[in-house]
Amino acid sequence: GQQVMQIPQYQHVQEGEDFTTYCNSSTTLSNIQWYKQRPGGHPVFLIQLVKSGEVKKQKRLTFQFGEAKKNSSLHITATQTTDVGTYFCAGMQKTSYDKVIFGPGTSLSVIP
């Protein structure tokens, strides 16, 4: 079945440093979504990428979707303490019911 992998599992950065998490799928995806979950909270949708090679930006966050639509990355520039949380990628493979499979997540800690 479809597998979605994510690295690194944990990342500790000094405030102001950049951060990147990478997501890889075993199969070609119809789209990929990114979510953020704060400690004790529930996942919150950040963005969806659909097109091959697509790049989207949200302020300090840059999202990329690979040309083969099997990998993606999330880059945060100049991290802040508010960026703390776990970032999940979720790959959608076209099935009869459009389910998404979540990666294991990358837990980001920001040291002030």
Partner 1 sequence: GAVVSQHPSRVICKSGTSVKIECRSLDFQATTMFWYRQFPKQSLMLMATSNEGSKATYEQGVEKDKFLINHASLTLSTLTVTSAHPEDSSFYICSASSPIGGRFYNEQFFGPGTRLTVL
Positions that interact with partner 1 (CB under 8 A): 1, 31, 33, 35, 41-45, 48, 88, 90, 92, 96-105, 107
CB 51 to partner 1: min, Å: 14
Residue type (1 letter), 8: P
In the beta sheet, which residues pair with residue 5? Answer: 24
Phi, psi angles (nearest 5°) of residue 60: -85, 0
Report the candidate in 54, 57, 85, 86 with the shortest Cα–Cα distance to residue 72.
Answer: 54
Q: Which is nearer to partner 1, 43 or 66 (by Cβ)?
A: 43
User: Are β-strands 106-111 and 10-14 bridged in parallel, bridged antiparallel, or unpaired?
Assistant: parallel
Q: Return the number of the residue (76 or 92) whose C-beta is nearest partner 1.
A: 92
User: Which residue's CB is nearer to partner 1, number 3 or number 18?
Assistant: 3
Cis check: omega of the bond before 39, within 30 degrees of 0: no
Task: Name the residue nearer to partner 1 (CB basis): 39 or 112.
Answer: 39
CB 70, min distance to partner 1, A: 18
Cα-based distances in Å from 71 to 33, 38, 40, 47: 11, 24, 28, 15
CB of 16 to partner 1, least distance (A): 26
Report, in Å, the least distance between residue 78 CB and partner 1: 26
